[in-house]
A and B are shown apart, each in its own frame.
Chain A
Amino acid sequence: MCVGIPGRIITVDDPEHRLATVDVGGVRRKINIACIVDEAHPPEACIGDWVLIHVGFAMSRIDEEEAQKTLELLRELGEMDAELEAMHAFDRAR
């Protein structure tokens, strides 16, 4: 929960509500990008950004190298599967 997971923004689906789709290790999921958007970096500019995601919210932009290192760390810590699994928990919860 505390380490978050890196993903890459594929599309910005609803700029007004700050909703985007990310790719996380090949898995797609809708996230909120409010915290990484400002005047200098509007929602439309976020496509292609690597971001660090905590519970469905992008909390920081990161560079690709940082993203890859963090993904590797999560794999080594054995948390990658749990995170990906959790991302889909909701599909089953409906």
Chain B
Amino acid sequence: MKFIDEFRDPAKAKALVRHINTLVTKIPRPGGRPLQLMEVCGGHTHSIFKYGIAQLLPEAIELVHGPGCPVCVLPMGRVDDCVALAEHPNVIFTTFGDAMRVPGSRKSLLQAKAEGADVRMVYSPMDALALARAHPDREVVFFALGFETTMPSTALTVLQAEAEGIENFSVFCNHITIIPVIKAILDSPDLSLDGFLGPGHVSMVIGSSPYEFIARHYHRPLVIAGFEPIDILQSVWMVVKQLAEGRCEVENQYQRLVPHAGNRVALEAIHRVFELRPWFEWRGLGSIDHSGVRLRESFAHLDAERRFSVPNLKIADPKSCQCGEVLKGVIKPWQCKVFGTACTPETPLGSLMVSSEGACAAVYQYGRIDLAEVVRQREAVAAGRQPVGAGSS
């Protein structure tokens, strides 16, 4: 963890922490429960753990780590579909490196590759298209995933493939969209969140207006936040200030990158290429209406799902996984029954342990957790005894 003196602007960081401490005392907290603020984006989760931001905040503020890591919320059935596509004899399956180790029900893409499937890591969908040009006799499938941040890149690549008339390229589309999942979390019966830190780079594409309903209908403040530790502190301060003043608004701490209207070219490309699916399955969260996109009918020939048959099965997560509860902020990562024992970054059971943006991997890496102590307490709770002392983050 980094200490406040190591912040790029320690004086500003200290002042923010001081202001947050003062403001928090002015916010009513029934039963003394902490204020829960959710950072939606996995990039924020990573920064928060790396810089020990939770430890700088007063105890009355708890940061809940949201579903904004696309690799983490990819359901097992979709990973199985990837493996099935990759094992197709004539297919070159292309993927971002992050997705290689996500466990499927039988194997991960990494294991499929080790067993002989032609799986190749690419940096960009453009690389996948270049592979298709270079190998006209092979079928190149690009595994598209991510929120609105990466959606435009897939859309523009599809448009390029269409313009060039490339016939051996297709996209296995797993893009998801941020607003429906936030709405699903807000609608969940165990909701106890008081405010949100909004995702920075998704908002660079979609702008700030799509979040307005959160303030209007759900009466929760949201502040779009940058990724620097000081950005995150400042955004927490802005949310807390709204709560102290009894306001619920969408504010933009990251104005230097996030225009109100988003990115016009990117949004146009998204709308030309994609349409909403009726529903999409999320690991740990279940099915969420209109939360994913697929290629429009006019691009069906570039859609791997329509071109190849994929099993498309719904596979339940292993029983011992509690990723859903962690994602909704109901339990902390180290409270999961298998955290640090059966589930570690080397042997991930759940996907939150795979990417550095997943809450479990971040806690494991930076959380300074005493694993033996965590396991002892978990067993004590399981045995119905009162734990001694509290787990630390």
Residues of A within 8 A of B (CB): 1-4, 17, 29-32, 34-35, 37-38, 52, 54-57, 59-60, 62-63, 66, 69-70, 73, 76-79, 82, 86-90, 93-94
Please list 19 pairs of residues, one from A and one from B, whose beta carbons are closer than 8 Å in the complex, sorted by A's number.
Answer: A2-B41, A2-B69, A2-B201, A32-B126, A34-B156, A34-B269, A52-B257, A55-B124, A55-B146, A56-B126, A57-B152, A57-B156, A60-B204, A66-B256, A73-B47, A77-B47, A86-B121, A89-B122, A90-B131
Provided the pairs A1-B70, A59-B263 are in contact, do residues A90 and B122 lie with their beta carbons within 8 angstroms? yes
A43 to chain B, nearest CB (A): 12
Are B120 and A2 interface neighbours, CB within 8 A?
no
B201 touches A56 (CB 8 A): no
Q: Do A56 and B153 have beta carbons less than 8 Å apart?
A: yes
Tell me, in angstroms, the Cα distance from A73 to B266 when the chains sit together. Answer: 26
The answer to whether B122 touches A93 (Cβ under 8 A) is yes
| A33 and chain B: residue at smallest CB distance | B265
B307 within 8 A of A: no
B388 within 8 A of A: no
Please, how many angstroms separate the alpha-carbon atoms of A94 and B127 in the complex? 9
Q: Give the contacting residue for B266; candidates A30, A59, A63, A93; CB below 8 A.
A: A59
Interface SS, A side = mixed
Contacts of A57 in B (CB 8 A): 124, 126, 152-153, 156
Q: Are A90 and B98 in contact (CB under 8 A)?
A: no
Nearest CB of A to B176, in Å: 13
Whole-angstrom distance between the alpha carbons of A2 and B153 in the complex?
A: 13
Do residues A90 and B153 form an inter-chain contact, with CB atoms below 8 A?
A: no
Do B50 and A56 have beta carbons less than 8 Å apart? no
User: Given contacts A3-B43, A3-B201, is CB(A62)–CB(B257) below 8 Å?
Assistant: yes
Q: What distance in Å separates the Cβ of A24 from its nearest Cβ neighbour in chain B?
A: 11
Whether A59 and B123, one on each chain, are in contact in the complex, defined by CB atoms closer than 8 angstroms, is no
Could you tell me the distance between the alpha carbons of A63 and B257 in the complex, rounded to whole angstroms? 10
Q: Does B160 contact A (CB under 8 A)?
A: yes
Closest-by-CB residue of A relative to B153 is A57
Q: Which of B123, B131, B149 has the most CB of A within 10 A?
A: B123
Determine if B134 is an interface residue (Cβ-Cβ < 8 Å): yes
Contacts of B265 in A (CB 8 A): 34-35, 37-38
Whether B278 sits at the interface, judged by CB under 8 Å, is no
Known contacts A32-B156, A86-B97; decide if A1 and B134 are in contact (CB<8 Å).
Answer: no
CB distance from A12 to the nearest CB of B (A): 16
> Could you mark each residue 41-56 of chain B with 1 if its beta carbon is under 8 Å from any beta carbon of chain A, else 0?
1110011001000000
Given contacts A35-B156, A52-B201, A54-B153, 7 further A-B contacts (CB under 8 A): A1-B146, A34-B265, A55-B153, A66-B257, A69-B8, A88-B123, A89-B127
Smallest beta-carbon distance B72→chain A, Å: 11
Q: B199: nearest residue on chain A (CB-CB)?
A: A2
The interface residues of chain B lying within 8 Å CB-to-CB of A78 are: 356
Assess the B156–A2 pair: CB atoms within 8 A.
Answer: no
Asked if B357 and A94 make an inter-chain contact with CB atoms under 8 angstroms apart, the answer reads no
Specify which chain A residues have a CB less than 8 angstroms from the CB of B356 in the assembled complex. 77-79
A56 to chain B, nearest CB (A): 3
Query: Hey, which chain B residues are within 8 Å of A93, CB to CB?
Result: 94, 120-122, 127, 131
Query: In the assembled complex, how far is the CB of residue A45 from the closest CB belonging to chain B, in whole angstroms?
Result: 15
Do residues A60 and B121 form an inter-chain contact, with CB atoms below 8 A?
Answer: no
Give the residues from 54 to 84 in chain B that come closer than 8 angstroms, CB to CB, to chain A: 68-71
Q: A80 CA to B139 CA in the complex, in Å? A: 32
Is there an interface contact between B126 and A4, defined as CB atoms closer than 8 Å? no
Does B228 belong to the interface (CB within 8 Å)?
A: yes
A54-B153, A90-B130 given as contacts; is B228 within 8 A of A4 (CB)? no
Q: Which residue of B lies closest to A1 (CB)?
A: B98
Q: Please, which residues of chain B bring their CB within 8 A of the CB of A30? A: 126
**B280 part of interface (Cβ distance < 8 Å):** no
Q: By the criterion CB–CB under 8 Å, are A3 and B227 in contact?
A: yes
Q: Does B299 contact A (CB under 8 A)?
A: no
A73 and B227 contact, CB distance less than 8 A: yes
Specify which chain B residues have a CB less than 8 angstroms from the CB of A82 in the assembled complex: 97
Q: Is the CB–CB distance between A73 and B96 below 8 Å?
A: no
Q: How far is the CA of A85 from the CA of B149 in the complex (A)?
A: 20
B205 within 8 Å of A (CB atoms): yes
Distance A40 CA – B131 CA, assembled complex (angstroms): 34
Taking a contact as CB atoms closer than 8 A, the residue among A34, A69, A86 that contacts B123 in the complex is A86
Q: How far is the CB of B12 from chain A (nearest CB, A)?
A: 14
* Across-interface contacts of B41 in A (CB, < 8 A): 2
